[in-house]
């Protein structure tokens, strides 16, 4: 399991304040299965003590209510919270290729940008009980414990885009040196032995800047670690560069060799879904999005809103429960309680808990109860 690390990473600033007063959590249930998994995760959180929870609409739910996927009021509420827990956004109801139509995803992207949550941490650690549920053979997957560190507020997601008079469309990918440096720093702090920096430097100019900047950052860090009064352990983390297409392949052929995968925004989006399947189901993967030291973190499952099973009570709540564990660790400075939730999930799985996505019949409710019983 990953070391505590919370205090070394962005967004730990509120933890001390939060420890003294009742933490204020903004819950953004969103769409599809979002409300069901959020309710389940909040039930687990409530078991740990007192939390003030305030719910707001986001995504499609907010479009229906207010005509926009993220209102200023919701963003302000998040800004002043100690942490934000999000379910999922999106669904067929709001799908459209009309560039003028409001989109649920704008809520999530607006929140990431509005809170400047530039660092997205997606740990991939298949639960021992689920080794048989992975599409890969057990021998290949055993011992995998990696973290995707994805840049979250730059790149093609936020570059200039549009349609031209001639009927074409374009999206631009841009990165600045400081944007690359700050995410590289998070990656190195999260690593225990190696940072694999992913890019497409054989084709893209942004990737060449990415590679050059990460290389320089690692060199400076190594030199600083050798200096007087420095922490020599910082010298231990090695850096390798990997082209994104090759990384997609290596992730399947030798997942346990990876420690931290450092990626720009879109490569991280794609590789983290791929990495999620190593755990047997995308329904298992939690995430944390962190920003400036004083900013609240955003915690959410990696999976989407799964509209096909919304309302059936069959959604797997474990990724959102895992996101609450990350919230305790990275957002509220309550590492041991976060680890406690993670072991309760492992024990419940060992005792046979399987939701439909894992080939079982457990409902959202029975899965939540199984975790609570092991807490």
Q: Is 175 a catalytic residue?
A: no
**Least distance from Mg ion to the Cβ atom of residue 29, Å:** 19
- Among residues 269, 330, 346, 357, which one is catalytic? 269
Task: Return the number of the residue (183 or 362) whose C-beta is nearest ligand IPM.
Answer: 183
Nearest residue to ligand IPM on Cβ basis: 105
- Residue 274 site contact among Mg ion, ligand IPM, none (CB < 5 to 8 Å, cut-off depends on kind): none
Phi, psi dihedral angles at 203 (to 5 degrees):
-130, -45
**Least distance from Mg ion to the Cβ atom of residue 304, Å:** 7
- Residue 145 site contact among ligand IPM, Mg ion, none (CB < 5 to 8 Å, cut-off depends on kind): none
- Among residues 113, 145, 200, 235, which one is catalytic? 200
Report the interface residues with ligand IPM, using CB under 6 A. 105, 108-109, 269, 302
SS3 state of residue 191: coil
Cα(105)–Cα(119) distance, integer angstroms: 18
Phi, psi dihedral angles at 362 (to 5 degrees):
-65, 140
Q: Is 273 a catalytic residue?
A: yes
CA distances 259 to 237, 256, 280, Å, are 10, 8, 19
Site for Mg ion in 250-269 (CB under 5 A): 269
- Residue 27 site contact among ligand IPM, Mg ion, none (CB < 5 to 8 Å, cut-off depends on kind): none
- Among residues 64, 220, 236, 245, which one is catalytic? 245
**Least distance from ligand IPM to the Cβ atom of residue 156, Å:** 10
Q: Is 236 a catalytic residue?
A: no
**Least distance from ligand IPM to the Cβ atom of residue 269, Å:** 4
Long-range CB contacts (within 8 A, 24+) of 364-369: 364/33, 364/36, 364/37, 364/40, 364/313, 364/314, 364/315, 364/316, 364/317, 365/40, 365/313, 367/40, 367/316, 367/317, 367/318, 368/40, 368/43, 368/44, 368/317, 368/321
Q: Is 220 a catalytic residue?
A: no
Cα(361)–Cα(359) distance, integer angstroms: 7
- Residue 105 site contact among ligand IPM, Mg ion, none (CB < 5 to 8 Å, cut-off depends on kind): ligand IPM
Q: Is 259 a catalytic residue?
A: no
Residues listed for the chain: 375
Residues annotated as catalytic (active site), given as ranges: 157, 200, 245, 269, 273
């Amino acid at each position: 399991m990953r070391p505590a690390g919370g205090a070394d990473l962005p967004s730990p600033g509120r933890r001390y304040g939060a420890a003294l007063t009742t933490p204020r959590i903004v819950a953004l249930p969103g769409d599809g299965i979002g409300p069901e998994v959020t309710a389940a995760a909040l039930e687990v959180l409530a078991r740990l003590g007192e939390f003030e929870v305030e719910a707001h609409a986001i995504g499609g739910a907010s479009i229906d209510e207010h005509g926009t996927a993220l209102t200023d009021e919701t963003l302000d509420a998040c800004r002043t919270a100690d942490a934000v827990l999000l379910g999922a956004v999106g669904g067929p109801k709001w799908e459209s290729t009309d560039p003028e139509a409001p989109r649920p995803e704008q809520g999530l992207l607006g929140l990431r940008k509005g809170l400047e949550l530039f660092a997205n941490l997606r740990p991939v650690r298949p639960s021992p009980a689920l080794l048989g549920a992975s599409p890969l053979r057990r021998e290949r997957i055993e011992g995998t414990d990696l973290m995707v560190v994805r840049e979250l507020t730059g790149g093609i997601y936020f570059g200039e885009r549009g349609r031209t008079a001639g009927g074409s469309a374009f999206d631009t990918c841009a990165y600045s040196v400081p944007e690359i440096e700050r995410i590289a720093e998070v990656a190195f702090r999260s690593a225990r032995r190696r940072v694999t920096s992913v890019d497409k430097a054989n084709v893209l100019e942004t990737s060449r800047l990415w590679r050059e900047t990460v290389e320089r950052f690692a060199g400076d860090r190594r030199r600083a670690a050798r200096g007087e009064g420095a922490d020599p352990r910082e010298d231990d983390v090695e850096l390798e560069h990997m082209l994104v297409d090759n990384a997609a392949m290596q992730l399947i052929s030798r997942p346990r060799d990876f420690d931290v995968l450092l990626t720009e925004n879109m490569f991280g989006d794609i590789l983290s879904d791929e990495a999620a399947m190593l755990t047997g189901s995308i329904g298992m993967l939690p995430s944390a999005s962190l920003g400036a030291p004083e900013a609240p973190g955003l915690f959410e499952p990696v999976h989407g809103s799964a509209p096909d099973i919304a309302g059936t009570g069959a959604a797997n709540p474990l990724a959102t429960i895992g996101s609450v564990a990350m919230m305790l660790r990275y957002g509220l400075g309550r590492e041991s309680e976060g680890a406690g939730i993670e072991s309760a999930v492992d024990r419940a799985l060992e005792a046979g808990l399987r939701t439909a996505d894992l080939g079982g019949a457990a409902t959202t409710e029975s899965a939540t109860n199984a975790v609570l019983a092991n807490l």
